[in-house]
A and B are shown apart, each in its own frame.
Chain A
Amino acid sequence: MTWRGRLRDLILAGGAFAATSGCSGTPLSVGKDAGQDVFISGGCGNADPDPCICGRPEASATAAMECQGEIACQAQGGAWQAYNTEEPDGAIVSPHCIFPDAAVDGPLTAGNDAASRDGAEDGAIAR
């Protein structure tokens, strides 16, 4: 199958808008040659505003909060508007959730992201 067919299948399966690792305890070490990070660093840039990718949740508390909002939004059937938008009166609307019935909800409050849970890691490892 061509790469276009792969991309089409991925989108049809729902993968283009699924939540990604970095925001919750999704599996690690899956294909870890790290080349994907090269592509991410080459392809992320400003082109993809998804707050859940490119290590953004780990790098920024704001991104972590927005990532939680995105996941919660998608879990409720909404679509995450990742860009700041400007209202006719000039007010800036931060990233928010758009539901099919056009109701809008903002990001969740910070402090409940999975990465901050305790009881996980068994201490540092000698290097």
Chain B
Amino acid sequence: MARSLVELPQPSLTGFTPAQLAFALGAWPMRAAEELRSALIFRALARAARRVPALIGWTDRFVVMVADEVRHTRLCATIGARLGAPGIRYDAAPVRARLAELPDPTRRAAAILLVEAAIGETISTMLFRAGRRGATEPLTRAALTIIVTDEVRHQRHGWAGLRALWPSLAEDDRAWLQAEATAGLGAAERRIALPALRWLEAGTPFDPAHAALGVLPPETRVDAFYAAVERLVIPRLTALGLDGARAWQDRYRPRV
């Protein structure tokens, strides 16, 4: 059970400059918005799963994932406010766009389980773990610890839910999921690794104080992302019955 907000440690911001704080603290409202988008997408998963016979027994776990993400949203928003970060700016348009492309309940459940829960939460776990390792500011570290604990469970539900669903999927559904995995990996690399790679390419220095406040240094972000993909995601995709290596290789090939 996650600690309540009142049990969290007090922030300790002594020694950080206003510029350092402004850079690092800006991530909290962004995290809150991401967590809220996750809550919406997992709620869509829970609702779709009710209409998929192979997932009937799984809906309670998906509902708990929604509750976790809502709690993370509150946590990140509250911590951001305590640390002096700006308020949340939330845009649901990406959620609407994603769900609009998944009208069929079986494919909607399968796609969200695969991309957002299994792949996404596996990568998130590695990123949050790396962020927690570098975070020394006590409130930041406590919050990242709470979140990473839930992310571990979410990715586990994602992979296990997929294994439960897999035998009931038709061949064309499986081929379509292969394309989902392929697109998901490309989107993840562009969204997570590419900004850090561009940062490194530009030779922009990274202030170590930002890591103490929970921001991953770009090298660490790159390492964590590729470790998640190569050591965890690709082998698990292959174990599931998809071709993980091909999904990665074709990640920018236009979808047909």
Please list the residues of chain A having a beta carbon within 8 angstroms of any beta carbon in chain B.
1, 3, 6-7, 10, 13-16, 18, 20-22, 24-43, 47-48, 55, 58, 75, 114-115, 117-122, 125-127
Contacts and interface: CB of A to CB of B under 8 A. Distances in A.
B196 A39 contact: yes
Contacts of A15: 186, 189-190, 194, 251-252
The SS class assigned to the B binding surface is helix
B204 to A, nearest CB: 7
B124 A58 contact: no
Given A26-B98, A120-B99, 13 more contacts: A3-B222, A6-B197, A7-B197, A13-B186, A16-B194, A27-B98, A27-B111, A31-B188, A32-B35, A35-B27, A36-B192, A58-B94, A115-B97
B253 A14 contact: yes
A31 B127 CA distance: 7
Interface size class of B (residues with CB under 8 A): 35 or more
Contact of A122 (B36, B44, B188): B44
Interface of B: 23-24, 26-27, 30-31, 33-41, 43-44, 47, 66, 70, 73-74, 91-103, 111, 115-116, 119-121, 123-124, 127-128, 131, 180, 183-184, 186-202, 204, 210, 214-216, 218-219, 221-222, 225-226, 228, 249, 251-254
